[in-house]
Amino acid sequence: MQKTVVITGAGKDRVGIVAELTEFLFQQGCNILDSSMTLLRGEFALILMTTLPEAMTVEQLRSGLARLQERLALNFTVRELSGEELQESAEERYQFIISVYGADKPGIVAGITKELANLKLNITDVQTKSVKQDDGEIFVMMLELSSSEELSEKELKEKLASFASKMGVDLSVRELEVLEL
């Protein structure tokens, strides 16, 4: 039976990490299903969902990644997914992108994510960045959300308006149209 694993890794960035890692996985006969990779102020982080070839064990993959880990200066972890984890979750038809902009201060991420959790919205992606400007640092946050419950763009914006006002940030909501590939 084919195994599916999640590989996570983090370490100092350098040119060629993605090329070397994906070439290694390809040479092993692995297939990358989903991935997210990013750079945060000189630190590179990744998460990959990958299937292993029938003959490969999770331990063999770990052993190969341990050798690659030294060359790439990344720390890898590998976790095999259970059958239950591989089952498709309920289709979440309502998807949104929220943008948050404001003066950088503690509590913005905690505050908005708590509001979204209270609204039973699932956060599927978060990106944050502090940008230096002449008059201080501006905080920028982009969130992707999904919900199985019916919710309009206008309703969501209204529900988040008091948070935005309290934190002194500009907040925009846009419904995400998903295109089938």
The structural domains of the chain, with segments of one domain joined by +, span 4-86, 94-175
Superfamily of domain covering 4-86: ACT domain (3.30.70.260)
Report the chain's mean pLDDT, rounded to a whole number.
90
- Chain Cα centroid distance, residue 19: 20
More confidently predicted of 133 and 55: 55
The reply to whether the predicted model has a pTM over 0.85 is no
Task: Tell me the per-residue pLDDT of 8-23, one tens digit each, with 9 for 90 and over.
Answer: 999 999 999 999 999 9
Task: Tell me the per-residue pLDDT of 81-125, one tens digit each, with 9 for 90 and over.
Answer: 987 777 754 456 789 999 999 998 899 999 999 999 999 999 989
CB 145 within 8 Å of CB 96: yes
Class of domain 94-175 (CATH, top level): alpha beta
Bridge partners for 102 per DSSP: 139, 169
CB 3 within 8 Å of CB 61: no
